[in-house]
Amino acid sequence: MQKVTLDDLENDPFHADVTKHATEPLNLNSLALNYFELEPGDELSGGLHTHMNQEEVFYVVEGTATFHTKGDEMTVEAGEIVRFAPGEYQSGKNEGEQRVRVIALGAPQDAGETRVAAPCQECGADYHVAEAGDDGISLSCPDCGNEPEQ
């Protein structure tokens, strides 16, 4: 058995004011677990994206988050949960005036290829592949290899 508190977890803000990853500290093998606190205008991720091997579930603990897909928008309030299937494009954001707290679960832990819904300016491919590195997220076109400036 293992236990951590949110205060024990290091804050790794990127798109959200507070981003804490519990996956590694809890030695999770089959599940990714993250906690977010979003100020007005903050996002859960860098925009419309999908994980090809991972379903994601978001539980809104406090406030109201707005989730977008390629063709829809949904508000998810405190106490509500939303699920996205592998390959389903989504993004989440705090479009309100109050702070939002969210717990995100992803299974399996290995999300597989992450795709960002941004067409390639060179060859017209529908998406870019996103890869996380020490310097942040890099994008590349799966067809021509173009790496757009961010």
Q: What is the pLDDT of residues 18-33, one digit of tens each?
A: 999 999 999 999 999 9
Do residue 18 and residue 84 come from a single domain? yes
Q: What is the end-to-end Cα distance of the chain in Å, rounded? A: 42
Q: What is the pLDDT of residues 113-146, one digit of tens each?
A: 999 999 999 999 999 999 987 777 899 999 999 9
CA distance 12 to 18: 7
Q: What is the pLDDT of residues 77-107, one digit of tens each?
A: 999 999 999 999 999 999 999 999 999 999 9
Q: What is the pLDDT of residues 40-87, one digit of tens each?
A: 999 998 889 999 999 999 999 999 999 999 999 999 999 999 999 999
> From start to end of the chain, where are the E strands?
18-21, 32-38, 49-51, 55-62, 64-68, 73-77, 81-84, 91-93, 100-107, 114-116, 128-133, 136-140
Q: Is 52 a domain residue?
A: yes
- The model's pTM is 0.92
| Adjacent-strand bridge partners of 130 | 114, 139
Do residue 140 and residue 93 come from a single domain? no
- Count of the separate structural domains present in the chain: 2
